[in-house]
Chains A and B, each alone.
Chain A
């Protein structure tokens, strides 16, 4: 009677091909812009061509008269109903959170800020109508440079107000003593250029109203957070609002936002009682999707003459742009704890000043704060090695936390639970052929080869898996860091999973199915994963900060465990055994020492029919779990990069790239490798190609993909990737996050390699992106 279902190998750890792919490779995808609803109208925004100006007049009357135009609104027309875009991370007592109307009313403060919107019967007519809107601006002074913005007498982003958004300080140990009389002192200033996240799918919003109920589709990473924030911003009650993130084409932090366009589309659906759609063009997106990075980092390191670190001081200026958006001021805080990296030191001092400028606001971009910190410490470790004349690997070895010292409380107060920096580094140097490359480098230097070789090192760790709610609370973040999962067995023995994670390329449908298959002993194919719709998945905190597996995956594991325990009690009842005598393996409940057996699928059916259940057993085989982690997860690894730099042209070419990462236990190695590849590519993009540039009037010069260079296949090398596997001790799967690690690690590896190649010429730094021109100028300046 018990039919055995073939389920041989464990699913966790298997390189399962992704189930998401079936719709993606055939073009049967559900992007937000694909949605067409009967009577749907199209929205377009008129955007400020000026970085800073007073709005004297906005006249939409001519636009309203055009054929196909249904409505047109100014910021004043939308009035108080449009509220103020939220900032959920008031980092300090002194933080200034300015009013941020979705459509500007009195003043514009960056190029691209919306000043009016039109609603028309198709997207071409909506675009036409923008040209009929008249706006009179009174230009005001742009504020573009952070240091100048803080100087007395600087023009204000807001008249009569300081351009300082906040200060945040942190200090641990005797910093002055560490620096006083230190044999070695390294002081450097690094520029984290402004970046544009550039997810391939542009943002899109579709909003429909049925009576008092609203359904908003958005290309977002955060349907759950968005629902709460839209309700708070617009006053439309949360329970009347359903938010759906359908297939979402990448995010990298850029879709972790509550945007002006989402708020306005919701209000337009309300006012017009018609479905509306807005899809941005790429050039609109480059102006108005929040930017990333943009920090000026002053870093000082005091060391002994053998290279051991005594102390570290960091003084940051972080460009907020014109407003504080969802987590704008929190991004540098996520970096604050990571400047000490993997190194032991007794004293650390961190200071950050957030600065307003008349630019697009910054916010989370892959790594959010941690790539900046890792870059600075890994660059400075190379400078320390150079100063002392020792190998940069050796200076790291003398300072890093040894395997047997875990768990280790870092100087910044984080408890690193596990790691083996030596193992990852040994394997990476072996894969790269470190010694042979050093020999080749010496040889090229000796013969003054115009093409020099550089080797870049990055031994990183990072904090991810956001996050313990208590820690977030102590940092004044506006929400928790838990995640939710529901698991239900259907009458036919199949399993439906609801996750609060919201994937946009990460492959959760596949990885979650693997976890369920092992935990409930069902075939991989028998699991379906539902997500990204607040009506289906009412509880969740979404996907960012490499949190989905380490938080959402654990919630899922726990929910599965509860389902299994319920099933076990039914199995024991049917087998007339004590639950304590029932074992579960591979989907089968067996009474120990007998042949009596029931499959979990049989139990699912028995629960459905409910004919013979234990007394008091509710006839449902499902369970929920909400997991709040105790700690972050701390992936680490060693990335090595060999770069050839042509000293005559300034051109850099990555010759080989090796990454040995430790992300703990792995659910799907294929997906992990993909995350590492993509992360490295984005980090290389920052190192070599990408920069959002504004001119002296505050115009964005990089508003298209022709000007803002994200790497193409021809610009990148192949990657050699391996893993060491030191399980995390902070969660039962032993997993660590992987989504951001590659980006955090790779940028300093590449820049260290370029600087290493140019050391014989006296070059100590090249500002990112290290374009041929920048490299050439650095060489000229030091000649």
Chain B
């Protein structure tokens, strides 16, 4: 009984962080037309691992989180998406960056993470457009 309990305990103890991949701390900025993006979220979507996400502050700065706050992202080359839709009510939102950046398949953005990085710069552009308010046909 005692021996089997010890074996069980030893088998389970290292399992606390077991299966979780190695992450490296990454922080940086999102710029749109060389100015900080003042509202939005950034997400890196690795293949075969959990995505890393962060909220942008008023200067466009972010610190990525995968499992624990600020633990960074799994190394590799990952698609990047930036959602910059600020809800103004239940049915209107202001887009601070073009919609295409919100989807990793259409954003055209990627980032290569090969080690800790404290100044990953993601550059967006309006390409002549500008910030707009969208009305969504869905009430509360």
A and B assemble together: no
Question: Interface residues, chain A, CB within 8 Å of chain B?
Answer: none
